[in-house]
Amino acid sequence: MKRLTLLRHAKSDWDDPVARDFDRPLNHRGEKAALLMGQFAARRQMQFDALVASPAVRVVQTLETFFAGFGETLDARWDRRIYLASSPTLFDVIRDLPDSADSALLTGHNPGLEELILDLVPDDGNNPMREDVEVKFPTASIAVLDLPIDRWDEAQENIATLVSFTRPRDLDPALGPGTR
């Protein structure tokens, strides 16, 4: 059994006059959400044997703030393929994870992460968490999936169980839509 945790980057600053999307930083709300989600992961005693992440500035800053709340830091493998990746590309990233890692944290962007969850978790019409993801996988959200595989290269569609799906607004309503 392998456990895959997906973390979407926190809310970024669209008002920042950076030249490239890749360089957009987090805004204040994003920093608050990333810290809160790190604290949540610590309380849940989440464990990660490997971390692979997009090298985009907003992902790097999300992880720095997340780990401040989590209480420990992991060395990331920065993978440019994750930046704005589609689900098939993210499957390639997952299949490249080291088999020595039983649990991995993948941090990146939408719509790819949302598509990946919907591809991994079967649509049996009776999974409220999957339906919530289908509506939206918001910034700084965490999805935990169990895959009944021994090696990461065995990852394929419709085999995962969505164990949990937590949004920042689930922990602090002030971080919900329409709030600043």
In the chain, beta strands by DSSP E:
2-8, 50-53, 77-78, 103-108, 142-147, 161-166
For the chain, what are the domain ranges?
A: 2-12+23-175
pLDDT at 96: 98
Average pLDDT over residues 136-145: 98
- pLDDT tens digits, one per residue of 7-40: 999 999 877 666 688 999 999 999 999 999 999 9
Tokens of 97: 């994870």
The predicted pLDDT at position 51 comes to 98
Question: Which amino acid is it at 53?
Answer: A
What's the pLDDT at 127?
92
Residue 180 has pLDDT above 60, yes or no: no
Q: Are 142 and 11 in contact (CB under 8 A)?
A: no
Please measure the distance between the N-terminal and C-terminal CA atoms of the chain and give it in whole angstroms.
Answer: 40
Does the global pTM surpass 0.85?
Answer: yes
pLDDT digits (tens, 9 = 90+) for 109-132: 999 999 999 999 999 988 999 999
- Residue reference for tokens 């059994």: 1
The SS3 call for residue 95 is helix
Q: How much is the pLDDT for 101?
A: 98
Q: In the predicted model, is pLDDT for residue 98 greater than 80? A: yes
Tell me what pLDDT residue 15 has.
Answer: 72
Is the backbone of residue 62 left (phi > 0), alpha (psi -120 to 50) or beta? Answer: alpha
Q: What is the mean pLDDT of the chain?
A: 95
Q: What is the pLDDT of residue 144?
A: 99
Fold of 2-12+23-175: Rossmann fold (3.40.50)
**Sheet of 161-166, strand order:** 77-78, 50-53, 103-108, 2-8, 142-147, 161-166
